[in-house]
Amino acid sequence: MLRAHTGTAVRAAEQPLLEAGQGDALMRRAAWGLAQHVLAELRRRGPVAGSTVAALVGSGNNGGDALWALSFLRRRGVHTVAVPASRSRALHDDGHAALLAAGGQVVDQVPSGAAVVIDGILGTGARGAFELPDGLVLPEGATVVACDVPSGVDADTGQVLGEVIPADVTVTFGAVKAGLLLGAGAQAAGRVELVEIGLGPYLGAPDLLSVGEPELRAAFAPPRWDDHKYSRGVLGAAAGSEQYPGAAVLVCRAALASGLGMVRLAAPEAVRQLVLGAAPEVVAQDQVGGKATAWVCGPGLGEDESAADRLEAVVVLAAEQGLPVVLDASALSLVSLAQVRRLRAAGAVVVMTPHCGELVALAQRLGAEAGLDAGEWESGLDEDPVGAVRELAETLDVVLVAKGPSTVIVEPGGTVFVQTEGGAELATGGTGDCLAGVIGAVLARGAADAERPAVGMQVAAAVRLHGLAGRAAAADGPFGASALPDQIRSVLATAAAK
């Protein structure tokens, strides 16, 4: 599990150490770790001695880290140059002295032969929009290593307000910064490497978590020897309509690929026929009902009266039995606040899976009805997307899965998860239907398991599985959503073999 803290939280954790005169020691630890990662990049490319590393150096401590790292690299026979990159061209005094003492140089331009360029312009001290230094040209093919945070990325929110220096690798100090996992920040950060500098005892609870392989394995464990189909979980699905029959196929196939005891589908005749052709193991019926351990409602449901009736039937059943419900797609536009409250009053877990447009619509409709100032909420969405998702989740008292390049999962009063496995290849119709099936499956499985992980963690594991399946599918070229279920099975097979 990856734990991330905002830049603000990391700066607060550093404070007692700075007051105790430990600032230089912290900086040298950070710089040493940065130098080790740069050496690893150089080794990957060829001989270390004789290669050139350039650093773009800002005037603050981020620049100090980069200068000290250059001084360490110089001692390994690397040609090291610092390029002042702030308006004032000021350099951190001790770092500058260390570089010169080691035989490094200060120059005006990044040499065209540089194998690695360290971005040490701005770190957690960045405020507002960033502008690239005038005339900056990075050598083609050079590996860009960001020091702590790519310049231009807000370490708290991942927001990029102005320009940015995208990195291949970000070497971050003390704690992974939340901004490296969110939105444009995650995109700019590339691979993230953490260097411990001894902040552990001073850091509070993480601001964000991201589940990894152990959590995926726990949430999607293979069946036990004595399992039977009901103990493995049964997912009920109210999905598909004459207009959108395929969505029901995707939900059912993705759920089955995630490993559970049974999928039960409530849908009109034409949808049932299509689904049974693709997955004859589905138990297809025309009404919502029967034994299930969780329900998913919405993909391809449409928005007419019969869709509303099917949603109401799911709400009544889930409220009676206290079952978890995933509301996706059409169900997000149809569900009323009264229905959500009925489910919550009955102790049913409610998971909503909006993409960005649906998230805003939810805030404007149900959020506003529940007392949220939707206009103010929307104006804060770009600046602090995690805060906004958390506020809406708490207002509605539901688990929100805000889908996108960084999918944010918030359980009211609980931890915030963010998963970034999925790539833009997932931006193709029907992948959200598959995700609804995977989340439904994990909840159906979890509901039947006495030792289940917390709901947020299960849902985050489902989002990871879906994202990894997308990556795997993309490796074979462009794909449509119906390619995902087979890849879900492969990802689970690989996870189980580890």
Ligand X SMILES: NC(=O)C1=CN([C@@H]2O[C@H](COP(=O)(O)OP(=O)(O)OC[C@H]3O[C@@H](n4cnc5c(N)ncnc54)[C@H](OP(=O)(O)O)[C@@H]3O)[C@@H](O)[C@H]2O)[C@@H](O)CC1
Ligand Y SMILES: Nc1ncnc2c1ncn2[C@@H]1O[C@H](COP(=O)(O)OP(=O)(O)O)[C@@H](O)[C@H]1O
Token reading at 96: 């500058």
Is the torsion defined by CA of 28, 29, 30, 31 positive or negative?
positive
Q: Does 215 bind ligand X (CB under 6 A)?
A: no
Token reading at 380: 């804060």
Q: Does 454 bind ligand Y (CB under 6 A)?
A: no
CB of 89 to ligand X, least distance (A): 11
407 is in an annotated binding site: yes
CA distance 33 to 30: 5
214 is in an annotated binding site: no
Q: Which residue from 433, 445, 483, 491 is in contact with ligand Y, where contact means CB under 6 A?
A: 433
Contact 61, 123 (CB under 8 A): yes
Residue 429 binding partner per list ligand X, ligand Y, none, with a CB distance cut-off of 5 to 8 Å that depends on partner kind: ligand Y
Q: Does 130 bind ligand X (CB under 6 A)?
A: yes
Closest CB to ligand Y: residue number = 432
Contact 252, 263 (CB under 8 A): yes
Q: Does 84 bind ligand X (CB under 6 A)?
A: no
Q: Which residue from 38, 319, 329, 386 is in contact with ligand Y, where contact means CB under 6 A?
A: 329
Largest Cα span, the chain: 80
Q: Which residue from 2, 13, 35, 126 is in contact with ligand X, where contact means CB under 6 A?
A: 126
CA distance 177 to 156: 7
> H/E element holding 210?
strand 208-210
Q: Does 334 bind ligand Y (CB under 6 A)?
A: no
Q: Does 189 bind ligand X (CB under 6 A)?
A: no
405 is in an annotated binding site: yes
Q: Return the number of the residue (96 or 272) whose C-beta is nearest ligand X.
A: 96
Q: Does 421 bind ligand X (CB under 6 A)?
A: no
Q: Return the number of the residue (23 or 405) whose C-beta is nearest ligand X.
A: 23
Q: Which residue from 74, 96, 403, 445 is in contact with ligand Y, where contact means CB under 6 A?
A: 403
Token reading at 92: 């951190």
Angle, CA of 386, 387 and 390, to the nearest 5° = 85
CB of 123 to ligand X, least distance (A): 2
Candidates 21-29, 53-61, 265-273, 400-408 — which segment interacts with ligand Y by CB under 6 A?
400-408
* C-alpha distances out from residue 196 to 108, 147, 148, 172, 186, Å: 32, 14, 12, 9, 20
Token reading at 205: 């609870």
Residue 32: HSE in the Cβ half-sphere, 13 Å Cα cutoff: 9
Q: Return the number of the residue (152 or 236) whose C-beta is nearest ligand X.
A: 152
Q: What is the DSSP letter of 285?
A: E
Q: What is the DSSP letter of 332?
A: H
Task: Determine the 3-state secondary structure of 81 from DSSP.
Answer: strand
String of DSSP letters for 393-451: HHHHTSEEEE-SSSEEEE-TTS-EEEE----GGG-STTHHHHHHHHHHHHHHHHHT-TT
CA distance 130 to 139: 21
Indicate the residue type of 357: G
Among residue numbers 13 through 72, which ones bind ligand X (CB under 6 A)? 14, 18, 23, 26-27, 30, 58-63, 65
Residue 23 binding partner per list ligand X, ligand Y, none, with a CB distance cut-off of 5 to 8 Å that depends on partner kind: ligand X
Q: Does 353 bind ligand X (CB under 6 A)?
A: no
Q: Does 480 bind ligand Y (CB under 6 A)?
A: no
Q: Which residue, 215, 213, 207, 211, is CA-closest to 158?
A: 207
Token reading at 335: 């569900």
Q: Does 430 bind ligand Y (CB under 6 A)?
A: yes
CB of 169 to ligand Y, least distance (A): 20
355 is in an annotated binding site: yes
Q: Which residue from 198, 200, 222, 429 is in contact with ligand Y, where contact means CB under 6 A?
A: 429
Q: Does 405 bind ligand Y (CB under 6 A)?
A: yes
CB of 423 to ligand Y, least distance (A): 5
**HEC profile for 107-136?**
CCCCCCCCCEEEEECCCCCCCCCCCCCCCC
Q: Does 113 bind ligand Y (CB under 6 A)?
A: no
Task: Determine the 3-state secondary structure of 299 from DSSP.
Answer: coil
Residue 207 binding partner per list ligand Y, ligand X, none, with a CB distance cut-off of 5 to 8 Å that depends on partner kind: none
By residue count, the chain amounts to 498
Q: Return the number of the residue (123 or 432) whose C-beta is nearest ligand Y.
A: 432
Residue 62 binding partner per list ligand Y, ligand X, none, with a CB distance cut-off of 5 to 8 Å that depends on partner kind: ligand X
Which residues line the annotated binding site for AMP? 403-407, 432
Residues that bind ligand X (CB under 6 A): 14, 18, 23, 26-27, 30, 58-63, 65, 122-130, 147-149, 173, 197
Which residues line the annotated binding site for (6S)-NADPHX? 247, 300, 355, 433
Which residues line the annotated binding site? 247, 300, 355, 403-407, 432-433
Residues that bind ligand Y (CB under 6 A): 329, 355, 403-405, 407, 422-424, 426-427, 429-433, 435
